[in-house]
Chains A and B, each alone.
Chain A
Amino acid sequence: MTKQIIVPFGPQHPVLPEPIHLDLVLEDERVVDAIPSIGYIHRGFEKLVEKREYPEYVYIAERTCGICSFIHGATYCQGIEQIMNLDVPERAQYLRVIWSEYSRMHSHLLWMGLFADSFGFENLFMNAFRIRERILDVMEQTTGGRVIQGSCKIGGVRRDISNEKLDEMHRDLDSIEREIRDLTTVFLQDDSIKHRLRNVGRLSKEDAYHLGASGPTARGSGVAIDLRKTGYGAYGKLSFQLVTDSCGDCYGRCAVRAKELFTSIDLIRQATQKIPDGPIDIKVTGVPNGEFFARAEQPRGELVHYIKGNGTKFLVRSRIRTPTLTNIPPLVRMLQGCELADVPVIVLSIDPCISCTER
């Protein structure tokens, strides 16, 4: 029997955006098992909900994560609005969709940059971030913040975008799309990148479904689940295609995210043209009493906000279940049988956002 040694991976590693610890059990250079360990960035958000009134908790829910922050705030607002039976005006819903899709694009571009960095292609990393700057500029011009937008509130949105600005955003999308097309051509066609990504970190379709994978991790293995198809917010009025890939390896997950960038651009184009005029918020009175599971599609997968109120200004329970928490069992399955040098690429391919995971 060959000797087994244990090599620690993380919490400090150049490839990880946030700290996670994995104990890798190795036989020679092959990984036999991986044992995850989290808790480096636990901030106790769920305890804080008992101390802050429910309208102010939007700011805290937004700051759960720095990359996917807008959708956290929007989903929390959605949950409270369902419990209190509020009817959000249409213009506010379209604005939320526009900001969510920009947020998804910037998150995918950030991931592509980090992914290129993980297999050593620094030039591609810098280029992905250069394109991301253009999207962050749009976010700052319309909301005031580059990564933390602060524009969702219960009953609608806090800021409006003028129709001239919407037309300008619609026109700028053409040049952004050309630059993204150049970038994704490199990712998907270049031979040296394919060498690193093909047949690395395979996850079969049955495994992806039964282990609870979600988002591009599941869609890269052929499981067609996308929460935007349930039609929450204004998604019911916009049409788009689900992107899947049948290979189930790192290349498949990368291809899904690259093609989703184009889906997002298409959704923003549709939304900026179909957006109606009208009010952007409604007056909110009363307190929430009841419980609800609000589900939304984050760039990384399926987000569930469970909110429970009991008729006072402070909520009883707010539980955020982020997609990275449910992608950790598939990660453990993917790591079994791979080479040690492929571990950073595989860990990054599920897009770990550990600060969301541990709230």
Chain B
Amino acid sequence: MTGIQEIVPVEVGNLIGKVEEFRDGDYRLVQINCSKVGDVYEINYSFDKDYVFRNLRITVTADTEIPSISGMYWGAFIYENEMHDLFGIQVKGMNIDFKGHLFTTAVKFPFSIASSTLTKDEKP
């Protein structure tokens, strides 16, 4: 369909370096995505230039703090705040920090691992 989709796993410490390479290569940020796989969270950063699609992937646990890439991509704040509001992932250094108020839901961090074991009437 749209060719090969490359997914490169990186360490949390190397994330900023790799994102800077994309920034210098004039890639635009497509999305930041978080999935819950068992006990860990997988976070995908997707970049695109001239319809070539490349991804970086980091795997973190619930209490890891990840650095924000909003210094290089100003528009990343919306994805990082959404990730924090839905999954409870701590992101350090966002340029616009909503402190949990971007997405107002009845249950705090509804998609996180801790909330997925709740029954219908329990509150976290």
Contacts and interface: CB of A to CB of B under 8 A. Distances in A.
Direct contact of A and B (CB under 8 A): yes
Interface of A: 35-40, 42, 44, 46-47, 78, 82, 209-212, 227, 229-232, 292-295, 302, 304, 306, 308, 316-317, 319, 321, 325-326, 328-330, 358
Interface in B48-68: 51, 53, 55
B51 A229 contact: yes
B28 A212 contact: yes
A317 B78 contact: no
A160 to B, nearest CB: 24
A341 B118 CA distance: 47
Given A37-B104, A46-B111, A212-B73, A308 B35 contact: yes
Nearest to B31: A321
Interface of B: 1-2, 5, 28-31, 33, 35-37, 44, 46, 51, 53, 55, 73-75, 77-79, 82, 85, 96, 98, 101-105, 110-111
A232 B75 contact: no
23 contacts: A35-B96, A37-B98, A37-B102, A39-B104, A39-B105, A42-B105, A46-B111, A210-B73, A211-B74, A212-B29, A212-B73, A230-B1, A292-B5, A293-B55, A304-B30, A306-B33, A306-B35, A316-B37, A317-B36, A319-B35, A321-B30, A325-B78, A329-B75
A232 B2 contact: yes
Contacts of A209: 28
Nearest to A310: B37
A202 to B, nearest CB: 17
Nearest to A208: B28
Nearest to A211: B75
Contacts of B73: 210-212
Nearest to A293: B5
B110 A47 contact: yes
B74 A295 contact: no
Given A293-B5, A316-B35, A328-B78, 6 more contacts: A37-B101, A78-B1, A209-B28, A230-B1, A231-B2, A358-B103
Contacts of B5: 292-293
Given A47-B111, A295-B53, A329-B77, A38 B103 contact: yes
A251 to B, nearest CB: 24
A41 to B, nearest CB: 11
A190 to B, nearest CB: 34
